[in-house]
Structure 1
Amino acid sequence: MVGTFRPRRVASAALLGALALGLAACGGEYPNSTFNHYTEYNTAIDALWDKLLFWGTLVFIGVEAGLVYTIFRYRRRPGGATPKQVHGNTALEITWTAIPAVILVFIAIPTVSTIFKTQAKAAPDALQVEVIGHQWWWEFKYPQLGITTANELYLPNGRTVNFQLKTVDVLHSFWIPQMGGKRDLVSNRTNYLWFTPNADLPSSAWNGFCAEFCGASHANMRFRVYTVTPAEFEQWAAHQKQPAVFKAPVVAPAAANAGTTPVQLASLQQGAVGDSSAAPAAPVVPVWAFPKERLDAEFAYTVPTAKLPTAISFDESLLAQGDAERGRQTFSRSSCIGCHAIGGTPFTSPIGPNLTHVGTRYTIAAGLYPNDAKHLAYWIKSAPHMKPGSIMPTVGKGLTDPVRKNVINVGGLTDPEIADIVAYLQALK
């Protein structure tokens, strides 16, 4: 069968393809894009990508041009002679072997160079952060500072951060798309990753994810990253080093308030939560966390969007009556102390997230829900209903645990007791 070349049909197909490419390029913000230069890590990776894309495009154009030329030049024509059979062409075979070899050299050199650059050891003065993956939440330890927190990671701009990546169960993968990285957490092994947030970055918020399928709630294993100025990081670290307190906020001295926003001025009296009346006097340390007004105004893409389950209910009117002191007492005699640590108290279990300053965090359940009274109450009442596979058991009295299938009676918490615990945890600033 002899084909007919139809320019209009080809032009229509080309126009349709160009329109599709144009529409694909339309869009707004890309909060999880990796094509940024916010760290030397993703600058190097992006440069490598550009080189590979350039050489790959050249190869594609050359191969396709040769293919199209061959199709049209040697296509079947009416009355055409039978093509001559060719059994080999040494010069041609050497050429098409040499050209890919040369191209591979141009690809291999920058690739190997980037691998060595990103796999090198971090600078000796780097901030050390131990990242521990759990099913399904993130634990962050700052061994140089004596700080342990969960699911929210603070990094100072302009300082190299060296991450020690570990897992306590299955494989996970630590990934902050806009900062670069993505490295696996492997059982019985410590992997390393380092980068330096640009010194001129403004205080910013970023999404973090687990990028290795790790079970039922893999997609719910998120975390939040805040890159802040060195001064802001020092403020945050100084507060995080303090034991948990839940007394009423007091006004910090004017000298300590210089240059801070109203959100940052909230200060709490020092003292052990377990016995606030006997606590010795100590300097007031201002509470500092990433400004919520900036988070709400500029980083809408970090707001959790998960919906509350319909399988459980909670009397939300009780939240206004919650009492932090009653909540502390209820917490101290409940099963909560078997899994959670709170600095300055006898509660030291490392099984679940550290709750020392949980009131300053913006999310719970590894970034799945906002850290407000309503979501916290539902989470305490039945975490497995809120997050599939959660090892935190149901504690709401009378409920059936969806994983263990047992009805919670002895040791279960009523809605008023949960409201008190919510008040206590929210006061741990």
Structure 2
Amino acid sequence: MKMLAKWRLLSLFALIALVLSGCGKPYLSALRPAGEVAQSQYELMLLSTAIMVGVIAVVTIIFIYVVIKFRRKNDNEIPKQVEGSHKLEILWTVIPILLLLILAVPTVAQTFKLADVSPMDKKNADGKTDALVVNVRASLYWWEFEYPNEGIITSQEMVVPTDEKVYFNLKASDVKHSFWIPAIGGKMDTNTENVNKFWLEFDSKAADEAGGLFYGKCAELCGPSHALMDFKVKTLPRDEFDQWVASMKAVKEPAKAETASAQQGQEIFNNSCIGCHAVTPANTAPEAARVGPNLTNFGDRSRVAGILDHSAENVKKWIEDPEAYKPGNKMTGKYPQLSSEELDAVAEYLMGLKVQK
């Protein structure tokens, strides 16, 4: 009875594990593909899993059959000995080769397809590309997204159109990171010594299911706050994306604070924070000088520091003690301690940095 109870408990845990393995949020799970790349990778994963499960099942059946069929029935009986069977040797050599080919052919085909970034190199009459290109730069522990054709830069929240290929140039400014949007596809390393390139496509139906917002991660151990190096991807139909680009390009100078408190916050920001953070999208400073995230559209974002809910209260918490939320970040100790009133003022100014009314 005790043995039966243990098997029941084990079966229950196995069933729960099986059910949970299929769970996942549509904005984060690689098991719920939301784009062409993710779908092809998911199908390859299903194919390889089916082959492995099939091999395990066949081997298990043969094992059980052999154990039952050729078990010793008495001490005087010796089972028939089979040696040097050419048929069996050919069989267990050909079958693995066929299985490898079944897996290798689509894998190699998809690898070459996903590696095709030739549209990134085709220039039009204006010297730009017809394809949408985003330069991704990873830093400890934040992300920068530059749209070279559009002449704008943003950080921590990337905006892309749906149902078309988006091409990426990936690099890092300090240590190796890895760019990954689980529901969309990837991942690919960002290195300091070279630029990696690939493309992704964001499905509009899946984007609607995910609320138009996907989560991105750093997938390469890079320091104490590696697990907190998140970014968000906001997906829009092409016409709304064009409107967002126009709104960003319309920002020619830092937004002016409207209230007295926000004006105080802007003055504090200009006396300390502006050395690291730009508040205009056309940031012409060299990469080495862009040491902090671009805050032009900070008020439009969905998270503070990539991990906290977007609110003035969390802005104040982050500014007051960034080390408590992202250990090892480069912001800690870079500015004088602010009073409660000054924190309120800076938070109000930052929450008012919006490009879309």
TM-score computed with the length of structure 1 as normaliser: 0.70
Taking the aligned partners of 1:81 and 1:140, their CA distance within structure 2 comes to 75
1:52 matched residue in structure 2: 48
- Counterpart residue number, 1:245: 255
Matched, 1:357 2:297: yes
Deviation at residue 47 of structure 1 after TM alignment: 2.0
Alpha-carbon distance in structure 1 between the residues aligned to 2:55 and 2:94: 13
Residue among 255, 260, 271 paired with 1:333: 271
The one of 377, 381, 385 equivalent to 2:324 is 385
Q: Secondary structure at the match of 2:213?
A: strand
Match of 1:30 in 2: 25
1:3-402 to 2 correspondence within 5 Å?
19-26=12-19, 29-31=24-26, 32-83=28-79, 88-121=84-117, 123=119, 125-200=130-205, 201-202=207-208, 204-241=212-249, 242-243=251-252, 244-248=254-258, 323-334=261-272, 336-343=273-280, 349-365=289-305, 367-394=306-333
Instruction: Work out the CA distance in 1 between the residues paired with 2:283 and 2:235.
Output: 32
Q: CA deviation at 1:46?
A: 1.9
Distance 1:419 1:345 in 2: 28
* Residue identity matched to 1:389: G
Instruction: List per-residue Cα deviations over 1:8-53 (Å, max 9, x = no partner).
Output: x89x95x766644443344665342213342111121122222222
Name the counterpart of 1:308.
none
The one-letter amino acid paired with 1:73 is K
Number of equivalenced pairs: 332
Change (3 A) 1:194 1:329: same
Q: Is the 8 A contact 1:380 1:395 kept in 2?
A: no
TM-score (norm 2): 0.83
Q: Contact 1:37–1:43 at 8 Å: present in 2 too?
A: yes
| Distance in 2 separating the partners of 1:122 and 1:216 | 37
Q: Is 1:382–1:395's contact at 8 Å kept on the other side of the alignment?
A: no
Compute the RMSD of aligned alpha carbons.
2.8
Report the 3-state secondary structure (helix = DSSP H, G, I; strand = E; otherwise coil) of the residue aligned with 1:72: helix
User: Take 1:84 and 1:322, find their aligned partners in 2: how far apart are those partners?
Assistant: 96
CA shift at 1:136, angstroms? 0.7
- CA contact under 8 A between 1:337 and 1:347: conserved in structure 2? no
Which amino acid in structure 1 is aligned with residue 302 of structure 2? Y
Aligned partners of 1:344, 1:58: CA distance in 2, in Å? 54
Q: Which has the higher contact order (CA 8 A, sep 6+)?
A: 2
Distance 1:339 1:133 in 2: 15
Which amino acid in structure 2 is aligned with residue 24 of structure 1? A
Kindly provide the amino acid, as one letter, of the partner of residue 119 in structure 1: A
What is the CA–CA distance in structure 1 between the aligned matches of 2:146 and 2:195, rounded to whole Å?
14
Change (3 A) 1:127 1:345: closer
Query: What percentage of residue pairs aligned between the two structures are identical?
Result: 35
1:419 paired to 2:344: yes
Give me the whole-angstrom Cα distance separating, in 2, the residues matched to 1:360 and 1:129: 20
Q: CA deviation at 1:113?
A: 1.0
User: Can you list the C-alpha shifts for 1:365-394, whole angstroms capped at 9, x where unaligned?
Assistant: 2x1212322111122222223321011123
Q: Distance in 2 between matches of 1:54 and 1:77?
A: 37
Amino acid at match of 2:132: L
| Secondary structure of the structure 2 residue equivalent to 1:116 | helix
Whole-angstrom distance in 2 between the partners of 1:51 and 1:386? 41
CA separation of 1:73/1:17 partners in 2, compared to 1, >3 Å: closer, same or farther? farther
> Secondary structure, in 3 states, of the residue corresponding to 2:214?
strand
Mapped to 2, the partners of 1:361 and 1:26 lie a distance apart of: 34
